Structure formats: structure tokens, C-alpha cells
Structure 1
């Protein structure tokens, strides 16, 4: 069961990273996206999404 949850989280993180890269975000404060937590990725994606018209 633990592997299923871990895989789902990693898949969600990868999707968010791909969306952020498509929006032009690669890193912030010298921290690359793959180093971010899923919460940080979601927060940044919501912010980027809100800023787009």
C-alpha cells in the first residue's frame, strides 16, 4: 500500500513540475522544482494560474 501512495504522490509532483516548467518556472530562490515539496509545488501552481489572464 505504501508504494501505491508514494507512486501517486510522485506522479502528482511530476505533473505539477511539468505544468510549472510550461509556465516558465524552473527554480526559485536557487531551489530547483524537483527539490520542492508537493505543497510548495501546488502553492506555486495556484499562484501562477491565478496570475494568468
Structure 2
């Protein structure tokens, strides 16, 4: 279970860094670090659609 948590946290960190590079720091007034992985992934995909 600890290994799964580590992988989830690594994925969150990776996506947060990418979102920050795109100029996204918060979602609906909440800092990215307080969001779930699913919420962060959804936000990242939304931002990618804006660029493409």
C-alpha cells in the first residue's frame, strides 16, 4: 500500500509541475497540492486542450 501511495504522490508532483509551467497554480481557489490525483489529471487535460 505504501508503494501505491508513493507512485500516486510522484504522479501528482509531476502533473503539478507541468501545470505550474502552464501558469496554473490553483483550481477553484484551491492550491493544486490539496487536490486529488484525479482532479489534477482532469485539470491538466483541460489545460492541454486549451493549447491544442
TMscore range, shorter length: over 0.9
Partner of 1:7: 6
State the superposition RMSD in angstroms. Answer: 0.8
C-alpha displacement of 1:37: 0.5
Please give the TM-score of this superposition, normalised by the length of structure 2. Answer: 0.93
> Which ranges in structure 1 are unaligned for 5 or more consecutive residues?
none
Which stretches of structure 1, 4 residues or more, deviate above 2 A after TM superposition?
none
Please give the TM-score of this superposition, normalised by the length of structure 1. Answer: 0.92
Aligned length: 52
